[in-house]
Amino acid sequence: MSETTHPSETLTDPFRHFSQWFAEAQRTEPGDVNAMTVATATQAGIPSARIVLLKGWDSHGFVFYTNKGSRKGDELAANPHAALLFHWKSLSRQIRIEGAVHDVTDAEADAYFASRARISRLGAWASIQSRPLASRELLTQRLAEFDARYPDETVPRPPYWSGYRVVPSRLEFWQDMPFRLHDRIIYTRAGDGWSIGRIYP
C-alpha cells in the first residue's frame, strides 16, 4: 500500500481522496476503472441497481449519462436520490457515495453526446431503453432507420437523452484489511464542509 493511501491517513477533502484512489485504480484495475453501480429507488422505496460508467466528477459531484425514459430515469424523476458504488478488486477497495441527483446542463449533455462514437449516438435514438423489445432484429432495423436519417457525423442528441449529477452528502472509503478488520473512512456533508470520521468494520 502506498504512502498516500495508508489507512491511517485521512484527507480533509473527499474529492481529493477519490482522485487519489481513482488514479491508483487506473494503474491496477484490468477492466473499466470508471464502472460503478448506480442504485435508485421508486417513490415507494423499491430499489434497483445496475452498472454504468462514470463520465466526470469534480467538487460538484459525479456524472453519468443515460436515456431519461429508462427505468433509472423514471425512478430518479420520482425520487431524485441515488447511491453509487465503486469496487476495485485489484486494490481491495470500495467507495460508496450517496446523495441527491440533479440534471446536468444541456451544454454538458451536448458536449458529451458529441464525443461518443457515431454508432453509439445512433443507438441512443434506436433504443427505447428499458421498454419491451419483440426481437433483436427490431433493434437492428431501428438502428438502420436512424443510420439512414442521419447519414453523416451530425447526429443530434435525442431530447430524452441526458445526464445526472450525484451531489454527495455522504462518502465512504473502504479498504480491505487482514482478518476483516477493514478500514472505513466516512465523509458527511456539514454545511459548506465535511465531517470526517471512522466507523467499525
pLDDT tens by residue, 109-149: 999 999 999 999 999 999 999 999 999 999 999 999 999 99
Instruction: Select from 52, 61, 86, 92 the least CA-distant residue to 201.
Output: 92
Residue 180 annotated as catalytic? yes
pTM: 0.92
HEC letters along 101-143: EEECCHHHHHHHHHHCCHHHHHHHHHCCCCCCCCCHHHHHHHH
* Cα 183 off chain centre by: 24
> Which domains, and CATH codes, for the chain?
3-109+160-198 (2.30.110.10)
Share of the chain above pLDDT 90, in %: 95
Render pLDDT for 13-33 as a digit per residue (tens, 0 to 9). Answer: 999 999 999 999 999 999 999
**H-helix or E-strand containing 19?**
helix 14-28
pLDDT confidence bin for 9, thresholds 50/70/90 = low
- Average of per-residue pLDDT values in the chain: 95
The total number of residues shown for the chain amounts to 201
Q: Where do we find the cell 423514471?
A: 74
Low-confidence winner among 3-12, 70-79, 160-169, 181-190 (lowest mean pLDDT) = 3-12
Catalytic residue among 96, 118, 149, 180: 180
Q: What is the spatial distance between Cα 24 and Cα 91, in angstroms, rounded to a whole number?
A: 8
